[in-house]
A = this chain, B = another copy of it.
Amino acid sequence: MARPRLSEKTRLRLLDEGVSAFLYNGFHGTGLKEVLDRVSVPKGSFYNYFESKEAFAAAAIRHYADCFATRMDREIREAPDPYTGLRRFFETLMADFEAAGYVGGCLIANLGGELEGSDLCRETLATAFREWRDRVAEVLRQSQQLGLTRGDVDAGDLADLLTEAWEGAVIRMKIDRSLDPLRRVLARLLDDYFRPG
């Protein structure tokens, strides 16, 4: 049997549509058929790209995390200092949430709540969360070196708190349909608790 011809472009379009579908409808609420219809891929060839819906979800989580990291790196790089870059990155996320009418939110939090059963997805989510936390820790460490963030608490500890509080606030944003929870987390943590004494 001939090896099926795989297109990287199709794979990426499947992942983009997958992220969107899982983000808005969750894992169980997402039908593969709708995703495939949107990308015009027949069901048979889907399985040349991904072994199962579970493997597809894991790849979508990975894809989401990579896009998120690229975006964060750009904001940090273009900012005058790491503290301002981090704040700006959160501002761009809030602008997106507002534009989306507060639905969707964060794929990591949504699937983290829903995916008990899949070790593959759970481990992919854990890695994605950890990478995000490490990235934020690195920025906070640079900010500490510049005296813009308190230096008496480990940057990793601050990053754990900030990323976890942010995820909880994203959940509350979704149910309250308001950016207030996110604004409050930044004001309380980045602009107060994390400030040098």
- Protomer copies: 2
- B174 and A168 within 8 A (CB): no
Known: A29-B114, A112-B113, A129-B175. A181 touches B160 (CB 8 A): yes
- How many residues in A have their beta carbons less than 8 Å from beta carbons of B? 44
Contacts of A181 in B (CB 8 A): 160, 164
Contact of A164 among B26, B111, B125, B172 (CB under 8 A): B172
From 2 to 34 in chain A, residues with beta carbon under 8 angstroms from any chain B beta carbon are 24-29
Q: How far is the CB of A173 from chain B (nearest CB, A)?
A: 9
Q: Which of A52-60, A70-78, A101-109 contacts B (4 or more CB under 8 A)?
A: A101-109
A116 to B173, CA, bound (A): 12
- A167 and B172 within 8 A (CB): yes
A105 to B109, CA, bound (A): 12
Cβ of A110 within 8 Å of any chain B Cβ, yes or no, is yes
Contact of A109 among B29, B122, B157, B171 (CB under 8 A): B171
A interface residues (Cβ-Cβ under 8 A, vs B) = 24-29, 103-105, 108-114, 116, 122, 125-126, 129, 157, 160-161, 163-172, 174-177, 181, 184-185, 188-189, 193
